Chains A and B, each alone.
Chain A
């Protein structure tokens, strides 16, 4: 017996003897990708995770007026293991970034990152601060950037819909989390004399071995 196929005219499928008559009007045909993405994009579980002022606007977005639940995103999980979206809502400091990276590594795939606000995007008003990381994208892959200081709840909702659009375009065939091999793990930075990004350790070693050629650091440590 022939399989039902998506390229068959819908009338033919409806009238196929294998489809019971009471379901005749309830048949629809789609691709697996669409069905998969349709479900995923409407049931994101963001991580309950706030960093700074932007987190207040994130809470307001989740509250009754803006009501994140309309989009099926309201289930904030405090544990990274149950979350698939990290909203970096606030200033990323050097002292905090090891924990953020660790949280990201603990999130299961598929996982997404939204950089909410100027600070998470680039360091924002505090960029030149000695304890501030110039944007979370120095460490994590960011899917959506939301400008603003802080972004209004509407802006955050807009960011969510942008992420939904992005999810819609993903295909089961190419997504990384069904591929073979290890999941990507971002090395957790180390707090030394300053923040040490382990991905750059070769460069750091090279400079240590050639101290004369290294450009003099603009700060003269006093201790």
Chain B
């Protein structure tokens, strides 16, 4: 499905277009291309619904010509063809064709390539797409994001509000013709940043001398700000998101919840965050509580929305690699790997053998240090303030030191390139890596287990807390360790193999508890499996010629043939996908990040209802989110 087609004939200007005519530039871009061939599964769909409704789409997947039928198609895919989980949902703005395309990727939970389907609506917001939340509850946040950034409406969505921006924000920022205050051109490098040219501050160029854009005639005296929208009202009403019944506040207050003494209790609504020591960054939870018991919970996201995707569409292809480091900033190189694999697929190139090994070594070391961090901070949330975290930060620092000596940076490594990696390991660095993998880290993991796994307090606090069944987890598009902790062995390294993972002998550990304790233990098991992969990789890497780390010539300016791809990798947090659309130019036409932290949070509401407030904190810790990836 990810085949690329050579550039049809859609040349785009290489230089940034003159600022005087930006509109003309947009209409130049017309990434319509060759139509995809339908896979046998898609043929089944076509036979069932007829050729009028199901047509091959450009490059990838099929097009549902009538947006109103999308839910029927999804239901058919789920129930008849067994695509149980919605991996990715996003939108693309085809300005020239006056259409917004909604793109869906669904997957078999047993593995295999994802299936892609699309539908198109006009840009004028006249048509609403049926929400997929009744079929795939995991669509909830993704649809809200599309609404927020593209202004596409979804009918029957349980809670269609802005998610990353605030209510009242002016415009749909991801649309191609929406320009940020500092807009300078469609492609980088911008003129003002050209070395030797004039280094004009962005503030000097823009009307408000700041990164703001108020609509003409805006009068603050009459404006009523309401950035939260109706979140509190909606929580008073209770609500029925997916098959989750939340009683309205009145009945909830009568029902005596969490009180064995028969006392009548009142419910209150409390804000936790965005500045709260337990929320792992700037996440805000609005909780409705009855005493200590949570009766409803809603998340408010976007406090770290850094416009990754908008900036990514202005960047050149190469520019985006360091930005991916800043997505999930704990595991930079795992993100880079997903992105370069996607672009390599579109360019039709393959990295060298040695580069593949180096990537795997880096990605698995990243997984280990990320899990160290996750476990340390889960313990923080449990109240073991800092002691366990200090132990694991020490170990993590050793891995980070290796990263730094190879790549030059501790966290933002910017290491991978299209067709290879930036630097080779020296023999000393390889020796250091072996020492870590064969000696130091296994012992550290043993110590971790001795310290924590049988600890009575940890068990009392975590066993049975935050349970979610396998069916619900799959429906919520949960991925990563949290999904494997309910007994679903879904790991992209096996489900949809990439790089050279098919060469290594390793297991996908699964546990069946589905609670916080198993989410902790699965991470320990995964660290051990990563060590197995690392041992093999470090043994085999000597068979590859040293220094052979880049296929083809190093280049600064990449042209990616027109096409589309959805590339996904298994990062420590779960499935990280990049949906990339190229029009043959030097920057992406669409650059979407399917981030596991963001989508895993969709299930947070169901996991926490009925639990104690202190447990909500622990559940959040066990999901192991990173806000950079949640809000992007």
CB within 8 Å of B: which residues of A? 48-53, 55-57, 59-60, 63-65, 78, 90-91, 93, 95-96, 99, 103, 123, 125-134, 138, 149-150, 152, 190-198, 201, 204-205, 207-208, 211, 214-223
Contacts and interface: CB of A to CB of B under 8 A. Distances in A.
B217 A208 contact: yes
Contact of B207 (A99, A197, A217, A220): A217
A27 to B, nearest CB: 41
Contact of A195 (B202, B212, B307, B308): B212
11 contacts: A48-B277, A53-B411, A53-B412, A91-B306, A96-B274, A131-B302, A132-B306, A193-B215, A219-B171, A219-B179, A219-B213
Given A129-B310, A220-B177, A192 B220 contact: yes
B390 A57 contact: no
Nearest to B184: A128
Interface stretch (B161-169, B337-345, B540-548): B161-169
Contacts of A208: 217-220
Contacts of A65: 393-394, 397
A193 B306 CA distance: 17
Interface string B313-350: 01000000011001001100000000000000000000
B276 interface: yes
A201 B220 contact: yes
Nearest to A129: B307
B627 interface: yes
Contact of B281 (A55, A216, A223): A55
Contacts, number: 209
Interface in B256-308: 274-277, 281-282, 302-308
A204 B411 contact: no
Interface stretch (B62-70, B221-229, B234-242, B488-496): B221-229
Given A57-B411, A78-B276, A128-B184, 11 more contacts: A53-B329, A63-B393, A91-B306, A127-B202, A128-B311, A191-B169, A192-B225, A193-B215, A218-B213, A220-B178, A221-B171
Given A194-B169, A194-B170, A223-B172, A91 B304 contact: yes
Nearest to B169: A193
Contact of A134 (B202, B218, B410, B411): B202
A129 B309 CA distance: 9
A205 B306 contact: no
A11 to B, nearest CB: 49
Contacts of A201: 220
B203 interface: yes
Contacts of B170: 193-194, 221, 223
A181 to B, nearest CB: 27
Contacts of A218: 179, 181, 183, 206-207, 213
A137 B331 CA distance: 30
Interface string B501-523: 00000000000000000000000
B342 to A, nearest CB: 21
Contact of A96 (B181, B282, B307): B282
B627 A52 contact: yes
B214 interface: yes
A169 B500 CA distance: 59
A60 B376 CA distance: 13
B25 interface: no
B366 to A, nearest CB: 13
A152 B213 CA distance: 35
Contacts of B168: 191-193
A205 B210 contact: no
Nearest to A51: B282
B438 interface: no
A93 B306 contact: yes
Given A91-B304, A96-B304, A223-B151, A204 B220 contact: yes
A169 B276 CA distance: 33
A69 to B, nearest CB: 11
